[in-house]
Amino acid sequence: MSIKQFIVRKLGLFFMLSTLITVAIYLLGSHFDGEARFGYDGFLSPLLYAGCCVLPSLVTWSKRELKPRELILRELIQFLLTEAVVLFLAFRSRTIDTSRPAVVLGIAGSVLVIYLLVFLFSWLVNSAQAKQVNQELQAFQRLHGNDDV
């Protein structure tokens, strides 16, 4: 994969994360601290979290095709780094009550759910793109009389 393709994928990841983090903040915030009110700077927190969560995904970049074991290991490292980044930011925040174990577990659980949703959405998009490319290749082969490939 070229560096340009990698960067475009990471931008897609950033926007997916921003959306899912916004939903998670709303759900967790409503459940644990429903009376809290924030100023307009509260709109920046999902962008900050998403930007910081894209950074661990850099461990998955490789110029060559990764073996399944290498890919799984890199994905696991990415997930653990993402958990660490989010928990670090949560513990540094003055507005998140990390003294309550339920809040910390809620944050960690939401990171896992978001990670799995991003993985699922990415797989669905990649699967649809692969299907389209295969259809275009079959049409090209039929057009040029090359049906045996």
Do 23 and 94 meet the contact criterion of CB atoms below 8 Å apart? Answer: no
Averaged pLDDT score across all residues of the chain: 85
Look at residue 108 in the predicted model and tell me its pLDDT.
92
Helix axes 101-143, 68-92, angle to 10 degrees: 140
pLDDT band at 22; cut points 50, 70, 90: confident
Tell whether the model's pLDDT for residue 148 goes beyond 70: no
Q: Give the N- to C-terminal CA distance of the chain in Å, as an integer.
A: 24
pLDDT band at 71 (very low <50, low <70, confident <90, very high): confident
Q: How far apart are alpha carbons 100 and 105 in whole angstroms?
A: 9
Q: How much is the pLDDT for 88?
A: 93
Question: pLDDT at residue 15 above 70?
Answer: yes
CA-to-CA separations, 110 to 17, 20, 114, in angstroms, rounded: 12, 9, 6
Domain boundaries, the chain: 3-143
- The alpha carbon dihedral of 36, 34, 106, 19 has a sign of negative
Measured distance CA(8)–CA(3) in Å, rounded:
9
Are the beta carbons of 78 and 53 closer than 8 angstroms?
no
